Structure 1
Amino acid sequence: MVIALRRFPNPRLTGLGGGIFSAAVMFLLGCLDSLLFDGGPLMYGLLFLPVAALTALWVRPADLVTAPISVPISFAFGSLPIAGGTGGTGGRIVAVITTLALNAGWLYGGTLVAGVIATVRKIRMIRRRYR
Structure 2
Amino acid sequence: MEQSIRTQPPGPRRRPPTGAAEAAVPGPASPPEQGPPARYRPPAGAAASRVRLRLRLRLPPGLGARGRPRGGPPARLTAVGTGVLAVAGTVAFALVDRVVFGGLGVFFGLGYLVVCFQLAVRVRLADLPAAPISGPIAFAAALLLLGPVSAPGVTAQVVALASGLALRAGWLFTGTSLAALIVAARYLAQRRFRRSR
**8 Å CA contact retained: 2:93, 2:107:** no
The alignment yields a C-alpha RMSD, in angstroms, of 1.6
Q: Greater RCO between the two (CA within 8 Å, min separation 6)?
A: 1
Q: Which stretch has the larger CA shift, 98-107 or 31-40?
A: 31-40
Q: CA offsets per residue over residues 31-76 of structure 1, 9 Å max, x none?
A: 1111011113221111111110000111110111121111111111
Matched, 1:36 2:100: yes
- 1:1-131 equivalences under 5 Å are 10-85=74-149, 86-131=151-196
> Percent identity between the aligned chains?
37
**Structure 1: gaps spanning 5 or more residues:** 1-6
**Structure 2: gaps spanning 5 or more residues:** 1-70
- 1:94 is aligned with what amino acid? V
Q: Which stretch has the larger CA shift, 86-95 or 10-19?
A: 86-95
Q: Which runs of 4+ in 1 moved over 2 A?
A: none
**8 Å CA contact retained: 1:33, 1:82:** no
Q: Which has the larger radius of gyration?
A: 2
Provide the C-alpha distance between the structure 2 equivalents of 1:17 and 1:38, rounded to a whole number of angstroms: 30
Scaled by the length of structure 1, what TM-score is found? 0.87
Provide the C-alpha distance between the structure 2 equivalents of 1:91 and 1:129, rounded to a whole number of angstroms: 51
Scaled by the length of structure 2, what TM-score is found? 0.59
Provide the C-alpha distance between the structure 2 equivalents of 1:10 and 1:38, rounded to a whole number of angstroms: 36
